[in-house]
Structure 1
Amino acid sequence: MEAQPTRDTTKGGTRLAGERLTVGHSRSGHTADRATWPTKTHAVTAGRPGRGRAADGRTPRDARSPSAALGRGPPRSPRASSGPAGTNGPGAAGGAARALPRAAVPAPRLRAALKRARRCTPAQSLRRAMVQPEEQARLYRPRPELLPTAHVPSLPHYQRLYRRSVEEPQEFWGDIAKEFYWKQQHSGPFLRYNFDVTKGKIFIEWMKGAKTNICYNLLDRNVGEKKLGDKVAFYWEGNEPGDSMKITYGELLRKVCQFANVLRNHGVKKGDRISIYLPMILELVIAMLACARIGAIHSVVFAGFSADSLCERILDCGCSLLITADAFYRGDKLVNLKQIADEALQKSKDKGFPLKQCIVVKHLGREEIATDGACSQSPPLKRLCQDVQGLFLILCFSQIPWDPRMDVWWQDLMSGASTECEPEWCDSEDELFILYTSGSTGKPKGVLHTVGGYMLYAATSFKYVFDYQPEDVYWCTADIGWITGHSYITYGPLANGATSVLFEGIPTYPDAGRMWSIVDKYKVTKFYTAPTAIRLLMKCGEEPVKKHSRKSLKVLGTVGEPINPEAWLWYYRVVGEERCPIVDTFWQTETGGHMLTPLPAATPMKPGSATFPFFGVVPAIMNESGEELEGEAEGYLVFKQPWPGIMRTLYGNHQQFETTYFKKFPGCYVTGDGCRRDKDGYYWITGRIDDMLNVSGHLLSTAEVESALLGHGAVSEAAVVSHPHPLKGECLYCFVTLKDGHEFTKNLADELKKQGIREKIGPIATPDYIQYAPSLPKTRSGKITRRILRKIAQNDRDLGDVSTLVNPGIINQLFNNRCETKL
């Protein structure tokens, strides 16, 4: 179907045919010139008389200011909302305003509302329990210092832009597209799509026929047209303090061109897949952009993944070349990356897919020079570090594996390559990259993003969500091996000509003040990290934070999982000193960019809420029957129309793409997440609704972990469930049944963790608990009842109905054998 704006027959303006607009909890809720968020009812249809509008379409008088729009009555002066009498609470100087009567959700009403809501899974209950009622009601307002330069300085301004983005997507995104270089304009419709599996194949096309190159727009355009050649693109901060470097936009362009020529010299052409298995070093960004420059499709694999995981991804995408590094340090742990890569390549060869070339970055051994002045083929792994007296020592480790028939040093190839490389002009809908995410079947899904739409969305969301200004220094602490690193370290910041920090290390090495020392060193203004990191640093106390200035910080952000209010408030008060708004972002690998998020100068914040939809995003909440829920509600989060950054398919498996994301609710993209919308229209993500776990911001498949456990010769059955964890949010609690002749011991449990899971999936999937189960609770059809296993893991004996179990007697045994856990 083509998304063409049509005039609605009711008063209230245009909307997309067949679509209802959603801002917060309303379908429309605003006009093009003033804030009109509903004040008493929360299911406002665009232009419907008597539901947030007067019968003549005018806006009610009490809905014309942001505070009134949120049902709060006249604006009031900020006041301290917590803390001892006589002290400055978070409401001082633009912080949290005291919760006014109409904004508050009294505990009895909240409990009643939750009781009426649809029952949710234990994982959802856990997520919701992390949000305290008193924090739900409190609003934290942006500080006035942000307003003069903000791209979106108020809630009404956001509403005007949002309405245009969903009613007139062609004009809205078309204006943004004019900021980029297009070799050729699109020839057909600006947007074509079908979200309804009952009406044919699912497809999304933005600006099909337009020709561009994303690398050209990120580098050549900034160096030439915008004269940013001497501006720093990245400050690279190594694992060890003092190990740092920087690269300008001009230098980055030259290195990308060099490596693009290297790839072409190795026979890589448009459409070929290249696997990249690198730590957080500049060569990772260079390799990605070099692929994009020549039209090759990059597939970045997180450097924490195992040889089995790397092999699986190599086989699935059919890559023609692997790029890796000798080794790297993560904290005080040495990771011999080349050895893991070699194991993966051998496994690929054993499965009938031999790669002929592996390009190796000399990272730890980059200072090693052979006696003849050339790079040696097998240098010792070296590390510069400080001992306790502050003296620099060189530590040597074992030789890395090397096969001269296959392996070649990155540095050798780059030394003779030209610094000029003509870009490959790609169609807007040509493939840009494949990024694998965990699948509920246990097999990773190759999410495929395309050139034009992804470029527009990553660039636009970065600009508005972080309120990017030319003088900013931005730091996202994520790994580029995940979508956050793709969109908000590589593509989004570079598209805006931003200066970023690229960090190789971890938050607590060599001490818990490392991140804040980096903030001060580079004068970081915009800082984006995960709730897991925040909770980890909370545990270390305030002193490591407060001994550093952090005066440069202006905006804080969170990503990867819902943040609990306690962590949000610590982040806001201790790190941001109550002067930095927090953009709590919800999105997915599949969405390409932010979907629900505050805007720094426009959105009053609620701790733990992702607040409102980003431009072009139309959220809805569905019940199990596929009915859209209005007002205060909880159910399945879906999106009703496409945005430019949406994935186009799963690589090599379009049928699974349709089944996973569009079959359950035809006409909508199904996120797989539960969501609650409160009385003020704020959205709260309640957690996964399928068999997925979110561990420290990493999405893991229970099926994948169970498969790894079953690969051990002693295990006959396995089941994996979520268990709450104070730092990770969730952790893995595993139940295993053993084959005859095997005994469950601590050694076996350690073996399952190490050989069964760490080596097959990676350290991030290591279970916190493994419990022996004589058998598993099952229905008469043989299905394992994970609902009951979650209860057992959490020592909750309120099991509900167990009449369908074929072996109810096993339940007491499992409770008696529980692992000792701590919340």
Structure 2
Amino acid sequence: MGAYDESYHRSLADPEGFWLEAAAAISWIRPPTRALDSANAPLYRWFPDAALNTSYNALDRHIEAGHGERTALIYDSPVTGTGREYTYSELRDDVAVFAGALASLGVGKGDRVIVYMPMVPEAVIAMLACARLGAIHSVVFGGFAPKELAARIDDATPKVIVAASAGIEPARVVEYKPIIDAALELAQHQPDHTIVLQREGTLAKLGERDLDWAALTASAEPVDPVEVAATDPLYILYTSGTTGKPKGVVRDNGGHAVALAWSMRAVYDIGPGDVWWTASDVGWVVGHSYIVYAPLLVGATTVLYEGKPVGTPDAGAFWRVISEHGAKALFTAPTAIRAIKKIDPEAAEAAKYPRDSFRTLFLAGERLDPETYHWAHEHLGVPVVDHWWQTETGWPIAGNPRGLEPLPTKPGSATVPMPGWDVQILDPLGKQLRAHEEGAIAIKLPLPPGALPTLWGDDQRYIDNYLSRYDGYYLTGDGGYRDEDGYLFVMGRTDDVINVAGHRLSTGSMEAVLAAHPAVAECAVIGVYDPLKGQLPRGLVVLKAGVDIPEEVLREELVAAVRRDIGPVASFRDVSVVDGLPKTRSGKILRKTMRGIADGRDEAIPSTIEDPAVLDALRPILRRQEVEDQRPGD
């Protein structure tokens, strides 16, 4: 067997030995003598007898090993025209001082701190400072609406909020303090203080319980890292949603550190001194795992980018950052690459920047369509690696282990399950399906280290939402299949499967067909109500820049392609060309919101939407209820 096969099979046959061996990469205050605690199954715990400090592992131990002058963090902010590099020693010192500032306000082990900040170094400092104290941080994406922020305040009951005066975007400034004040008016829980980082040109008015970051840290004394149990929470991260109580995904300290350190080397091939750029936000799980914790745990250099790296007229922002900072790898979402492809289809901007250091492009967050995969591979000249994971899992479920054993890639596939993840494809009755049979993607328990052990304050909700559908399995909510080589194809959320006249069809499969058309930059397919067939697919496509094709011609070609590749059973006839698709600020297309509008429901529009005007422009298209005569063979 190869290195991947050997590791994968061992991780399932001997999880105790596999993860205890992986735990050797972490510095422990009290090393683990056993890996898995199953006493309270299905609520499993990892390294139950161990103790450590995550902030120490991310910073201090590298300094003690003689690497204090190595660059830990590169801050690149085109929206402010500024930048800065932090060595490990400098970052550790700032973290220790801010931890002291929090401690002076009574923040200690187990207390919660909400971090509501843009992509600035102080956001990273606040997170690591909480970890240093054993406090539990809950980062809320900067710019979330007051109602959503208030829900998180009431659920986490923080002692302190850490915020900035504003977030600066390419076309606007978002003032954070009025949002916080409005949220606190709505919230039942009231934190003791709000610490505000005052940004140049965007000063916030401070109230009686508000504290200035600079003034508070000026008098603070640095503190040393405290001991926490491996099973103690490191952070709470709330999953996005517009209704109901938010779900607070809990991440522990020990399993998280072990899994991320292992994945950084084995999955991403990043180690000490390598420059790594994750083009995301610290408000999302990708930012937690692969902007902040994983690269610092292994002694790498992480790039913190403030601004949108993609958009007219700067289609070259990605390539500039990679070139200037010598990034070995980039991790972003397929949406970002599709946006570049639309603006710069021949990749002329990429050709302007030497990328001698660049080795791999990693994509995740949504399905990578084959057309985008081929475009990126052709124009960038590096392996393009799709991989798949979730907020709940914290690190990749499936991927291509570039540091362990690089595997061949297949368009449309997230490659293979990573060690620790026993991935199965199940039918509605829980039967395991064979190769190429599409079903629900489920993971046999126990989940590996780094995955959520529970939801904040609600074990039963965790069991009900994730563990009750199939006995002994975690339900991912995604559907897909595996091929004869074991490669996993994730076709989309199971609620993106539509029922056309009794036939269950994947909208992801249809999107793959549309995306393969040379005129299409990006697309979405949603199911809409039909009185005859129950549901019918509706396609929305965005054209590449400079494409001139009559809409009727394009429609006929796309309908013919779906009929050819999927079959007449899809009843695919409705295609509209649109200027843009509604997305969250992390780049995910809001299919659920579009489905609601198409069905005649004005669902609450998430405050995380990137451009509400796009959704407004789509309303009349989404609500169009045309019933055409059935074509022969439909």
Q: Is 1:506 matched up with 2:313?
A: no
Q: Which amino acid aligns with 2:400?
A: P
Correspondences of 1:489-504 after superposition (within 5 Å)? 489-504=291-306
CA contact 1:231–1:248 (8 Å) conserved in 2 = yes
Which residue number in structure 1 is paired with residue 35 of structure 2? 190
The runs of at least 4 consecutive aligned structure 1 residues that moved more than 6 Å come to 691-695, 764-767, 770-773, 789-799
Which residue number in structure 1 is paired with residue 104 of structure 2? 265
Cα 1:159–1:793 change in 2 (3 A) is: farther
Deviations 1:519-555 (A, max 9, x none): 1111111111100101101011122222222232111
How far off is 1:170 after superposition?
Answer: 1.6
Q: 2:283 aligns with which of 481, 487, 490?
A: 481
Which residue number in structure 2 is paired with residue 586 of structure 1? 388
Larger relative contact order, structure 1 or 2 (CA cutoff 8 Å, min sep 6): 1
Q: How many angstroms apart in 1 are the aligned matches of 2:273 and 2:31?
A: 32
Cα 1:331–1:761 change in 2 (3 A) is: closer
Q: How many angstroms apart in 1 are the aligned matches of 2:618 and 2:68?
A: 58
CA contact 1:305–1:763 (8 Å) conserved in 2 = no
Q: 1:757 aligns with which of 605, 615, 621?
A: 605
CA contact 1:185–1:211 (8 Å) conserved in 2 = yes
- Where 2:492 maps in the other structure, the secondary structure is strand
Correspondences of 1:328-477 after superposition (within 5 Å)? 328-348=167-187, 352-363=188-199, 365=200, 380-381=201-202, 400-403=204-207, 405-419=208-222, 421-438=223-240, 442-477=244-279
CA contact 2:51–2:229 (8 Å) conserved in 1 = yes
Correspondences of 1:228-247 after superposition (within 5 Å)? 228-240=67-79, 242-247=81-86
How far off is 1:556 after superposition?
Answer: 0.9
Which residue number in structure 2 is paired with residue 607 of structure 1? 411
- Where 1:538 maps in the other structure, the secondary structure is helix
- Where 2:67 maps in the other structure, the secondary structure is coil
Which residue number in structure 2 is paired with residue 525 of structure 1? 328
CA contact 1:734–1:771 (8 Å) conserved in 2 = no
Q: Which amino acid aligns with 1:325?
A: A
CA contact 1:206–1:429 (8 Å) conserved in 2 = yes
CA contact 1:516–1:550 (8 Å) conserved in 2 = yes
Which residue number in structure 2 is paired with residue 207 of structure 1? 47
Correspondences of 1:140-289 after superposition (within 5 Å)? 156-186=2-32, 189-193=34-38, 202-224=42-64, 226-240=65-79, 242-289=81-128
How far off is 1:183 after superposition?
Answer: 1.3
CA contact 2:435–2:481 (8 Å) conserved in 1 = no
Which is greater in Rg? 1
Which residue number in structure 1 is paired with residue 356 of structure 2? 551
Q: How many angstroms apart in 2 are the aligned matches of 1:767 and 1:443?
A: 28
Q: Is 1:659 matched up with 2:478?
A: no
Cα 1:306–1:796 change in 2 (3 A) is: farther
Which residue number in structure 1 is paired with residue 428 of structure 2? 624
Number of paired residues? Answer: 546
TM-score (normalised: structure 2)? 0.80
Cα 1:512–1:793 change in 2 (3 A) is: farther
How far off is 1:255 after superposition?
Answer: 0.7
Where structure 2 has 5 or more consecutive residues not aligned to the other structure, the ranges are: 498-506, 512-525, 527-536, 543-580
Cα 1:636–1:471 change in 2 (3 A) is: same
- Where 2:452 maps in the other structure, the secondary structure is coil
Which residue number in structure 1 is paired with residue 574 of structure 2? none
Q: Which amino acid aligns with 1:264?
A: A
Q: Which amino acid aligns with 2:240?
A: S
Q: How many angstroms apart in 1 are the aligned matches of 2:625 and 2:262?
A: 43
How far off is 1:322 after superposition?
Answer: 0.6
Correspondences of 1:800-815 after superposition (within 5 Å)? none
Which residue number in structure 2 is paired with residue 298 of structure 1? 137
CA contact 1:440–1:690 (8 Å) conserved in 2 = no
Which residue number in structure 1 is paired with residue 481 of structure 2? 676
How far off is 1:201 after superposition?
Answer: 5.5
Q: How many angstroms apart in 2 are the aligned matches of 1:323 and 1:243?
A: 22
Which residue number in structure 1 is paired with residue 560 of structure 2? none
Q: How many angstroms apart in 1 are the aligned matches of 2:242 and 2:429?
A: 22
Which residue number in structure 1 is paired with residue 455 of structure 2? 650
Deviations 1:92-128 (A, max 9, x none): xxxxxxxxxxxxxxxxxxxxxxxxxxxxxxxxxxxxx
Cα 1:265–1:768 change in 2 (3 A) is: same
How far off is 1:683 after superposition?
Answer: 0.7
CA RMSD across the alignment = 3.1
Cα 1:772–1:595 change in 2 (3 A) is: closer
Which residue number in structure 1 is paired with residue 572 of structure 2? none
TM-score (normalised: structure 1)? 0.62
How far off is 1:459 after superposition?
Answer: 1.4
- Where 2:191 maps in the other structure, the secondary structure is coil
Which residue number in structure 2 is paired with residue 805 of structure 1? none
How far off is 1:516 after superposition?
Answer: 1.1
Q: How many angstroms apart in 2 are the aligned matches of 1:330 and 1:514?
A: 15
How far off is 1:417 after superposition?
Answer: 1.8
Q: Which amino acid aligns with 1:572?
A: H
Q: How many angstroms apart in 1 are the aligned matches of 2:496 and 2:210?
A: 40
How far off is 1:465 after superposition?
Answer: 1.3
- Where 1:670 maps in the other structure, the secondary structure is strand
Q: 2:341 aligns with which of 538, 548, 551?
A: 538
